[in-house]
Amino acid sequence: MARHAILGAALLLAAGLAPAQSTPAGKPLFTFRSALWVNLHHFLYVLGRARNDTPDSRRSAVANAPADTQGFDSLTATQRGSWERAVAYYRKNVSPKDAVFDPDLIAMTNALAAAEDASSLAGVKIPADMRTVLEDVAPVYRKVWWERHSRSNRARIEELQALLGRYGQPISDLLTKAYQQSWPPEGLTVQMCAYANWAGAYSTSGRLIVMASTDDGMAGSEGLETVFHEAMHQWDDTMIPRLQEAAQRLHADIPRDLFHSLIFYTAGYATARVVPGHHPYADPLWARALPGHAQLDQCWLPYLRGEGTLAAAIDRLVGSFAK
């Protein structure tokens, strides 16, 4: 799916000449982090889901995680035992939770992201047994995986920063205008992890955004679209009630995931408008996974092209589902 990896590599060469992408306060639109604890946490999470044989563990963004074992043979029996206990703990206690919707897991992930590369997890608000497991296994992760994972993270961050330097500001301007929202003055922080979840990226409450550096679907302009897609989820608390209010007023039965289709459509449109040759990420998904493509073409696209107001566009879109 990385159709624009070559473009991203070319932009790396020009990154020093690229205009800054910034908030009205002059801070970057996105700040990227590659930190140990949140990377270890996500790796164990996807391995636990693989052990549980969840259907999403076979998705391309995470399917290769169990085979990510280079250097494992160098571990002692004690170290292997520590790693096995950590995976078993996650399999039972953490991996059954949904990374996007489970409030307890979201709180844990936010806490571990805030811990960054701290020498210990003392004072971090996670369950005591989870803290013990992670602190016990961290030296094993550092020895076998962390250098490789952090190298992958750095490469993806450099690629995205170059793309953002060239294209970030006009995409941000299109999206904030369309949704009539302001970009956070402090910008948004993205946790770059070797693995994230089955989708390769996700966003939750608490302004948590996670992207996977080992997922080819997050490369090039597709990764650029994705980081803006995840940022748009931070406006869900505004847009979802607007859609629901219009649906009630217009007696329309809208698809539950219409808000998500709206993000896919809008982020894809904005990126394609700005990045030459970009194909929206959702193009192959409309026929089999996303609702409302025809209605968005008819009712939302004219608004994105400058016709009418947001309120009128929402009413047209929602009204197209009225019985």
* Domain end residue (candidates: 187, 202, 232): 232
Residue at a domain's end among 232, 260, 293: 232
Same domain? 10 vs 99: yes
Range of the domain at 141: 5-232
For the chain, what is the domain count? Answer: 2
Over residues 24-77, the pLDDT tens digits come to 667 899 999 999 999 999 999 999 999 999 999 999 999 999 999 999 999 999
In this structure, are 195 and 245 located in the same domain? Answer: no
Question: Is the dihedral angle over the CA atoms 59, 224, 112, 67 positive or is it negative?
Answer: positive
The reply to whether 63 and 200 lie within a common domain is yes
The model's pLDDT over 291-314, given as tens digits with 9 standing for 90+, comes to 999 999 999 999 999 999 999 999
Alpha-carbon distance values, 50 to 54, 65, 215, 289 (Å): 6, 8, 16, 23
Torsion of CA 150, 89, 106, 111, to 10 degrees: -60
Which residue is associated with the tokens 């992760």?
141
How many whole angstroms separate alpha carbon 240 and alpha carbon 205?
Answer: 14
Same domain, 70 and 143: yes
231: closest CA among 276, 279, 178, 295?
178
From CA 289, how far away is CA 309, in angstroms rounded? 29
3-state secondary structure of 284: coil
Band of pLDDT at residue 8, cut at 50, 70 and 90: very low
Of 232, 257, 281, the one marking the end of a domain is: 232
Shared domain for 222 and 309, answered yes or no, is no
The residue whose two tokens read 């489970």 is 102
Residue-wise pLDDT for 100-109, tens only, equals 999 999 999 9
Confidence band, pLDDT 50/70/90 cuts, at residue 20:
low
Pair (158, 216) in one structural domain: yes
